[in-house]
A and B are shown apart, each in its own frame.
Chain A
Amino acid sequence: MTWNQIPVSRRDALRGLGVALTLPWLESLAPTVARANSAIATPPRRMAFIFVPNGVHLPNWTPKSEGFGFQLPYILDPLANVQEELLVLSGLTHDKGRANGDGPGDHARSASVFLTGAQPRKTDGSNIRSGISVDQAAAQRIGSLTKFPSLELGCEPGRSAGGCDSGYSCAYSSNISWAGESSPMGKETNPRAVFERLFSVSGGQTTDKHAARRQALKRSVLDFISEDAKRLQDKLGVNDNRKLEEYLTGVREVERRIELAESESTGIKAVDYEVPAGTPREYAGHIRLQRT
């Protein structure tokens, strides 16, 4: 990766939110633990997936020749200065994106199969099932190296009324990231909310007496709510339990982040990036900001 040679402006930093999670400024979000353990300060390598729901015009996307030194097609032209680092893979058609006896619904299937490779169960509301997605498989394995195991960003919240596609719940077409076969990850579409989540300095230095107290109180709240979730879990059916399990996963994730913050010897660096105002009305501007 050659990201380190790119000069980073504040603007770039914002732009980088979606795609370029390997930009060096994000090092400030990597825990000191990870850095301290290695002799060279190497930030953990990130991976990113981008889904283009309506597809691309393949003749202008796929290089004409195979192997090194290919001619960049028109759509990929903006990537010219990183072409050396670029691989274009073709022939990755998902068989599980086909109907396979499930009838119409290509739009819903195309999104849900993208990172899961799993045939989504055709259902509009009950017992939705896809599969764990590759980003979440990675996040569950190595996500502990970063402040957030994964970030899910988007430019459109998905439909808020009616049907999405031929008897498939909108959960299939609105989400590409699945933490488990029935747990879509949801996504943030407001750049301001994403920014605040990434850069809010909560907790921080344990040397500050007030901060230490606040952390202790926060922990008592987390203990209380996870205790209640566990008690509820004992009493519930399968689908109910899944919801509580999602809830508890969220609690554990927050607990982990508090521990992380406490183990930071220097605390998280203050950042002074410009905060985005909200969701731009104009779509291209929104995409630029989210860069998903």
Chain B
Amino acid sequence: MQRKLTLPRKNRHTSPRRSQIAPFLHTHCVDCHSGDEPEGGVRFDKYSDSANVQTDYELWEKAVRLINDRQMPPVDEEQPTAGAVIAITAAIAAELKTFDCSAAKHPGRVTRRRLNKAEYNNTIRDLFGLDLKLADDFPADDVGNGFDNIGDVLSIPPVLLEKYLTAGEAIAEAIFNDEKAKERILVHRALNDEQRVEVARRNVREFAAKAFRRPITGDEEERLFAIMRFAWEQDSSEEEIFKTVISAVLSNPHFLFRVERDPPADDEDGVRALDGFEIASRLSYFLWSSMPDEQLFDLARSGELTNPEVITAQARRMLTDPRSRALVDNFAGQWLQLRDISRLQPDRDKFPSFDDELRAAMRRETELFFENMIREDRNVLEFLNADFTFVNERLAKHYGIEDITGAEFQRVALAAGRRGVLTHAGILMLTSNPTRTSPVKRGKWILDNILAEPPPPPPANVPELSEDGETLGSLREQMEQHRENPACAVCHTKMDAIGFGLENFDAIGAWRDRDGRFDINAGGALPGGRKFNGAADLMQILAEEKKAEFCRCLASKMLTYALGRGLSSYDRCALNEVVTALEAGAYRFGSLVAAIVTSDPFTKREVRPQE
């Protein structure tokens, strides 16, 4: 069955993009996606004169994703060439850029999410001053969209609820074994017997409000008091009464979940601005992976925390607080995958110098770099081209930097040939195989995590590289043979060029001039023809020519983490604003954070009709 997609003549040449989209749709899509009963309810024949991005935004986003993923057209249909896939993706993306952000505001909706393990530990630490780390024994939090704080993915299996109850009891016990912690909870003291009940009630009310991160309602107070009265009727001691009520609060959904109110059902646009307490929690869990502190609570109570200037000032204050270390552990640890360094095992025969001390130093180096970025509010492009880093004796030896002694880390100038975090040993190691470097892995990792230009998956049945170097020559020569296949070349040209620029670093990130019997050639050219020679050169080019892509990538990763949900079509608008603010803010880290915490998705909550 053949259907013709005819475009009105007047529109045929109005847009160079459209002239690419229509023929692709015609060849690969409309056979199934047209007419009265289109496949999947998706019709492309209706887009004869415009892509209608304003109304059909989500459909086009989905189309791009499926085509790029090679899920469409289906495998049993004629497949577009890799070049055609890239071209159509770019053409639709260009069309999507014409979306008018002023027309519709969609801040989106975060699935009510529970605290993850890090958040639970930190919250208990800040609530009681007890660093018990009980969540270390909870089941692992699943990862979605690259992070382990994504509401939709965080589930509560029965074993976890059981652990919450046990942990709640253990914490209540620990509080009464620690005078300081006890005083934090039993703040007020009764002067005589008549006051006892009222004072106990007040202590519990204030504690529950802190734990629920908002004032508690009169009804909640009554019900908490009922638990206390019940315990008293059972002949419980005062201590047991308090322990019971503390575990009731710590295993309560209002403590374990980040609860935000939805807009009322009859709300016109289904969008609600978050109140001060909700914003306080958004800020504190984003920047500290923990509960708000007194200052945030005060500003929430006074109503000031809904003011964007106050929010910004608070975010800047919070970044200078030691608790922002959580952003390094949890955001950087996952964005740059530093957490993975501890599970990698390079081949012992090929890399006999590798040991746990070096492994720990690798991870610490990049963490310190990130900490310093926050503390000194530095230019985020330094992730790409910084000429300094942090080393201790062990790592300095690994880098060939002389005269550094001791286990303490210190700031040093990077050796020639290294620039930015992509030349940190840890990242070079986690993008390698255990036995050798993988320029493809390194290139793909950078496209995925630094430039947000993930290449489409490889076509099926591509032969593996031969492990036998004798017949095929150097790794680079083998890869070049591989690239002679045009289906591979279109993506590999970019991935490999970047990856080969890093070939002077072996699989544990040490400098090398030779790989086996072959000299290293770390030169190359990026698509578009810009030539480079070696990693330092390449990093400088990325920082200059790819800074827009990098900023967008970093902003989208951080926005995902800050919101606890994957970004959707409409978040593109907020993302544009964040990137613009970052550029206007001289690329300072703090201006990125400020733009995120004042964005619509961060300060509002939406219910969309289909939900």
Which residues in A have some Cβ–Cβ distance to B below 8 Å?
99, 101-104, 122, 124-128, 149, 152, 157-164, 166-167, 169-171, 174-175, 179, 182-190, 193, 197, 213, 216-217, 220-221, 224-225, 227-229, 232, 235-240, 243-244, 246-247, 249-251, 253-254
Is B34 located at the chain interface by the 8 A CB criterion?
no
Segment 150-201 of B: residues with Cβ below 8 Å from A? 150-162, 165
CB-defined contacts of B141 to chain A, threshold 8 Å: 160
Q: Could you tell me how many residues of chain B have their Cβ less than 8 Å away from some Cβ of chain A?
A: 69
Residue of A184, A190, A216, A243 ringed by the most chain B CB atoms within 10 A: A243
CB-defined contacts of B146 to chain A, threshold 8 Å: 124, 161-163
CB-defined contacts of B159 to chain A, threshold 8 Å: 152, 185-186, 188, 197
Once A171-B144, A213-B235 are accepted as A-B contacts, the answer to whether A228 and B155 lie under 8 Å apart by CB is: no
Provide 18 A-B residue pairs closer than 8 Å at the C-beta atoms, listed in order of the A residue.
A104-B70, A169-B144, A187-B139, A189-B139, A217-B231, A217-B236, A220-B227, A221-B247, A227-B223, A228-B254, A229-B253, A232-B254, A237-B111, A237-B262, A239-B151, A243-B111, A247-B156, A247-B161
CB-defined contacts of A164 to chain B, threshold 8 Å: 143
CB-defined contacts of B433 to chain A, threshold 8 Å: none
B309 CB to nearest chain A CB (Å): 32
**Complex partner residue of B148 from A102, A160, A217, A254, CB under 8 angstroms:** A160
CB-defined contacts of B248 to chain A, threshold 8 Å: 220-221, 224-225
Interface hit among B337-345, B412-420, B511-519, B536-544: B337-345
A125→B152 contact, CB < 8 A:
yes
Instruction: Map CB proximity to A onto B520-536 as digits: 1 under 8 Å, 0 otherwise.
Output: 00000000000000000
CB-defined contacts of A122 to chain B, threshold 8 Å: 71
A122 to B71, CA, bound (A): 11
CB-defined contacts of A249 to chain B, threshold 8 Å: 158, 161
Q: Which residue of A lies closest to B336 (CB)?
A: A161
A60 to B109, CA, bound (A): 51
CB-defined contacts of B338 to chain A, threshold 8 Å: 161
A161→B143 contact, CB < 8 A:
yes
Tell me the dominant secondary structure on chain B's binding face. Answer: loop
**Complex partner residue of B140 from A157, A213, A246, CB under 8 angstroms:** A157
A228 to B261, CA, bound (A): 15
**Complex partner residue of B69 from A167, A232, A239, CB under 8 angstroms:** A167
Query: What 7 A-B pairs are tightest by C-beta distance, nearest first?
Result: A250-B161, A125-B144, A157-B140, A186-B139, A125-B566, A125-B145, A170-B143
A175 to B257, CA, bound (A): 22
CB-defined contacts of A182 to chain B, threshold 8 Å: 155
A158→B236 contact, CB < 8 A:
no
B158→A240 contact, CB < 8 A:
no
Once A179-B157, A183-B157, A221-B251 are accepted as A-B contacts, the answer to whether A124 and B223 lie under 8 Å apart by CB is: no
**Complex partner residue of B155 from A103, A162, A216, A246, CB under 8 angstroms:** A246
CB-defined contacts of A221 to chain B, threshold 8 Å: 165, 227, 244, 247-248, 251
A246→B156 contact, CB < 8 A:
yes
B608 CB to nearest chain A CB (Å): 9
B111 CB to nearest chain A CB (Å): 4
CB-defined contacts of B109 to chain A, threshold 8 Å: 237
CB-defined contacts of A166 to chain B, threshold 8 Å: 457
B607→A216 contact, CB < 8 A:
no
Once A160-B339, A224-B223 are accepted as A-B contacts, the answer to whether A217 and B234 lie under 8 Å apart by CB is: yes
Is B268 located at the chain interface by the 8 A CB criterion?
no
Segment 225-282 of B: residues with Cβ below 8 Å from A? 227, 230-231, 234-236, 240, 244, 247-248, 251-254, 256-257, 259, 261-262
A244→B152 contact, CB < 8 A:
no
B253→A228 contact, CB < 8 A:
yes
Q: Which residue of B lies closest to A164 (CB)?
A: B143
B111→A251 contact, CB < 8 A:
no
CB-defined contacts of A220 to chain B, threshold 8 Å: 227, 230-231, 244, 248
A158 to B157, CA, bound (A): 16
A282 CB to nearest chain B CB (Å): 12
Q: Which residue of A lies closest to B458 (CB)?
A: A104
CB-defined contacts of A188 to chain B, threshold 8 Å: 139, 159
A104 to B239, CA, bound (A): 58
**Complex partner residue of B143 from A104, A160, A187, CB under 8 angstroms:** A160
**Complex partner residue of B161 from A126, A235, A240, A254, CB under 8 angstroms:** A254
CB-defined contacts of B148 to chain A, threshold 8 Å: 160-161
Once A127-B152, A235-B262 are accepted as A-B contacts, the answer to whether A224 and B252 lie under 8 Å apart by CB is: yes
A171→B153 contact, CB < 8 A:
yes
B340→A162 contact, CB < 8 A:
yes
A243 to B254, CA, bound (A): 13
Once A183-B157, A247-B253 are accepted as A-B contacts, the answer to whether A160 and B144 lie under 8 Å apart by CB is: no
Residue of A122, A221, A250 ringed by the most chain B CB atoms within 10 A: A221
Q: Which residue of B lies closest to A186 (CB)?
A: B139
A224→B566 contact, CB < 8 A:
no
CB-defined contacts of A238 to chain B, threshold 8 Å: 611
B155→A186 contact, CB < 8 A:
yes
CB-defined contacts of A187 to chain B, threshold 8 Å: 139-140
A179 to B231, CA, bound (A): 35
Residue of B157, B261, B334, B338 ringed by the most chain A CB atoms within 10 A: B157
Q: Which residue of B lies closest to A241 (CB)?
A: B112
Is B205 located at the chain interface by the 8 A CB criterion?
no
A222 to B141, CA, bound (A): 24
CB-defined contacts of B223 to chain A, threshold 8 Å: 224, 227
CB-defined contacts of A237 to chain B, threshold 8 Å: 109, 111, 262, 607, 611
A228 to B333, CA, bound (A): 35
A183 to B142, CA, bound (A): 11
A106 to B54, CA, bound (A): 36
Residue of A103, A183, A213, A238 ringed by the most chain B CB atoms within 10 A: A103
CB-defined contacts of A125 to chain B, threshold 8 Å: 144-145, 150, 152-153, 565-566
B234 CB to nearest chain A CB (Å): 5
B155→A243 contact, CB < 8 A:
yes
Once A217-B244, A228-B253, A232-B253 are accepted as A-B contacts, the answer to whether A246 and B71 lie under 8 Å apart by CB is: no
A98 CB to nearest chain B CB (Å): 10
Residue of A103, A152, A185, A224 ringed by the most chain B CB atoms within 10 A: A224
A236 to B253, CA, bound (A): 13
Residue of A169, A179, A182, A235 ringed by the most chain B CB atoms within 10 A: A169
A182 to B109, CA, bound (A): 18
Q: Which residue of A lies closest to B448 (CB)?
A: A163
A160 to B244, CA, bound (A): 34
CB-defined contacts of B74 to chain A, threshold 8 Å: 101
Is B137 located at the chain interface by the 8 A CB criterion?
yes
A175 to B252, CA, bound (A): 26
A187 to B158, CA, bound (A): 10
A163 to B152, CA, bound (A): 16
Q: Given contacts A186-B139, A217-B236, A217-B244, could you give 11 more A-B pairs where the C-beta distance is less than 8 Å?
A: A124-B144, A128-B144, A160-B340, A166-B457, A179-B157, A190-B137, A235-B261, A237-B109, A237-B111, A240-B112, A246-B157
A126→B565 contact, CB < 8 A:
yes
CB-defined contacts of B235 to chain A, threshold 8 Å: 213
CB-defined contacts of A229 to chain B, threshold 8 Å: 253
A183 to B74, CA, bound (A): 30
A254 to B161, CA, bound (A): 8
